[in-house]
Amino acid sequence: MLYCTCSFAPEENEAIVSHLVNKVGDEAELLPIDLPIDHWQPGLTSFNETEFDQAIASTRRILPNELFDGFFLAKIAKRG
């Protein structure tokens, strides 16, 4: 599953994905995302005083450029 938003708000991105990972435990895993672009950052593992699951670093924040706005991506697989 690909979770994607057109937002940089950690409350809509890293917090949601971290909640999923914490709630379902070993039933889901975050997969690495390889991108053919260089204007991205890893997902935040903390914001303000909130710590997220360290696996969130495998998510991606795509930075805006002249071609498109920025967005967030998380690639999630069901283990089974």
Look at the domain 2-78 and name its fold: Rossmann fold (3.40.50)
What are the residue boundaries of the structural domains of the chain, listed by start? Answer: 2-78
pLDDT tens across 35-49, in order?
A: 999 999 999 999 999
pLDDT at 80: 74
- Name the burial class of residue 30, with classes exposed (0-12), middle (13-18) and buried (19+) by CB atoms within 10 angstroms of its CB: buried
pLDDT at 75 over 90: yes
**Which is the catalytic residue, given 1, 6, 9, 77?**
6
Nearest CA to 32 among 8, 61, 57? 57
Question: CA-CA distance, 56 to 74, in Å (whole number)?
Answer: 8
Question: CA-CA distance, 47 to 12, in Å (whole number)?
Answer: 12
Task: Return the half-sphere exposure (C-beta side, CA atoms, 13 A cut-off) of residue 16.
Answer: 17
In the residue annotation, 6 being an active-site residue is answered as yes
pLDDT tens across 8-63, in order?
A: 999 999 999 999 999 998 899 999 999 999 999 999 999 999 999 899 999 999 99
CA gyration radius, the chain: 12
pLDDT at 79: 86
**What pTM, to 2 d.p., does this model score?**
0.90
